């Protein structure tokens, strides 16, 4: 079994390579996993192109949802995007928070940070910044964010409990997050997992849906809501290269599967103890 540091290094190397590619190369499979056939499949990502603030140069086709669409961002908000990549979700968040707000993207891959900064400079966005750092130890002070968003990234983080603890720390009281991620429902056959990972690399590290939601609860969040859920379907012609027809049918009829979920949750706004001091 790989250690946390080995996993992080693997992710850094992979995303450093992805940062130098265009969307067409990356969209052959989610998270830029290399495709093993001549076919091109975009298994997970949703269409961003109609969202205000969309920047084609920043869209690498790596997501599994549209968290910014559900994030309830208001004018003037401070928004933090975890695993910000080339900056697409940050730029869409900026369209919501406006000139009076601020957007901070965090990514642990230097090549991604460089690409995102170049995109922001080209667009002339001066209230969007990108910081190099890990989600489990964010380069942010506490209680700085009104909203946290993330798109198909947290499942790649080895210590998810620490990641959500950090999200709780950086959110202001009364703040909230909207996160799209990949989860599992039921015990998937090993062949299904292995096949899906070939074509959708960000399935790696995915955990059971209920375990994922319990981690959020244990971090202290309230009013947890699944805003969107969709099944991740690996095409039959891919599955048939690795599974028998009977195995494919059994899988489809089993009720288990791989899902993309967009989850919303809030950090409680503690009442003030007196006029000058608030509870923590």
Dihedrals phi, psi of 117, to nearest 5 degrees: -65, -40
User: Can you give the length of the chain in residues?
Assistant: 280
Those residues with Cβ within 8 angstroms of residue 234's Cβ, 6 or more apart along the chain or in another chain: 43, 192, 195, 196, 199, 200, 258
85 within 8 A of 69, measured Cβ to Cβ: no
User: pTM for the whole thing?
Assistant: 0.84
Q: How far apart are the two ends of the chain, measured CA to CA in Å?
A: 39
In angstroms and rounded to an integer, the radius of gyration of the C-alpha atoms of the chain is 19
pLDDT in tens, 223-252: 999 999 998 887 888 788 778 889 888 888
pLDDT of residue 218 exceeding 50, the answer is yes
- Give the start-to-end residue ranges of the domains of the chain: 4-184+205-231+259-264
Cα distance between residue 206 and residue 209, in whole Å: 9
Q: How far is CA 118 from the centre of its chain?
A: 21
164 within 8 A of 155, measured Cβ to Cβ: no
pLDDT in tens, 183-214: 999 988 777 777 776 655 667 788 999 999 99
- pLDDT-derived band at 31, boundaries 50, 70, 90: very low
Q: Hunting for tokens 């799209």 — which residue is that? A: 180
| CATH assignment, 4-184+205-231+259-264 | 3.40.50.150
pLDDT of residue 26 exceeding 80, the answer is no
130 within 8 A of 105, measured Cβ to Cβ: yes
Angle between helices 110-123 and 4-18 (to 10 degrees): 40
pLDDT of residue 8: 61
Dihedrals phi, psi of 178, to nearest 5 degrees: -135, 115
Cα distance between residue 213 and residue 202, in whole Å: 18
Cα distance between residue 107 and residue 138, in whole Å: 9
Share of the chain above pLDDT 90, in %: 52
Q: Write b or e for each residue in 98-116: b if 16 or more Cβ atoms lie within 10 A of its Cβ, otherwise e.
A: eeebbbbbbbbbebbbebb
């Amino acid at each position: 079994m790989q250690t946390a540091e080995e996993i992080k290094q693997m992710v850094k190397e992979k995303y450093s390579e992805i940062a130098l590619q265009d969307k067409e190369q990356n969209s052959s499979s989610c998270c830029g996993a290399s495709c093993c056939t001549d076919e091109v499949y975009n298994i997970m990502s949703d269409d961003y192109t109609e969202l205000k603030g969309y920047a084609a140069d920043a869209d690498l086709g790596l997501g599994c949802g549209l968290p910014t669409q559900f994030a309830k961002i208001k004018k003037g908000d401070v928004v933090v995007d975890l695993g910000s990549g080339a900056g697409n979700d940050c730029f869409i968040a900026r369209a919501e928070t406006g000139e009076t707000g601020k957007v901070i993207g965090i990514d642990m891959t230097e090549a991604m940070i460089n690409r995102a900064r170049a995109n922001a400079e080209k667009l002339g966005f001066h209230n969007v910044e990108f910081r190099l750092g890990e989600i489990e130890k964010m380069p942010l002070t506490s209680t700085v964010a009104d909203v946290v968003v993330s798109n198909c990234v947290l499942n790649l983080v080895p210590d998810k409990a620490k990641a959500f603890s950090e999200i709780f720390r950086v959110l202001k009281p009364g703040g909230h997050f909207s996160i799209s991620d990949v989860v599992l429902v039921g015990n998937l056959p090993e062949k299904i997992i292995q096949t899906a990972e070939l074509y959708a690399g960000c399935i790696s590290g995915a955990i059971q849906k209920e375990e994922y939601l319990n981690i959020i609860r244990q971090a202290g969040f309230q009013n947890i809501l699944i805003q969107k859920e969709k099944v991740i379907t690996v095409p039959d012609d891919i599955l048939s290269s690795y599974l028998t027809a009977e195995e494919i049918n059994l899988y489809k009829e089993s009720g288990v599967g791989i899902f993309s979920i967009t989850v919303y949750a809030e950090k409680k706004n503690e009442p003030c103890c007196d006029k000058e001091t608030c509870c923590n």
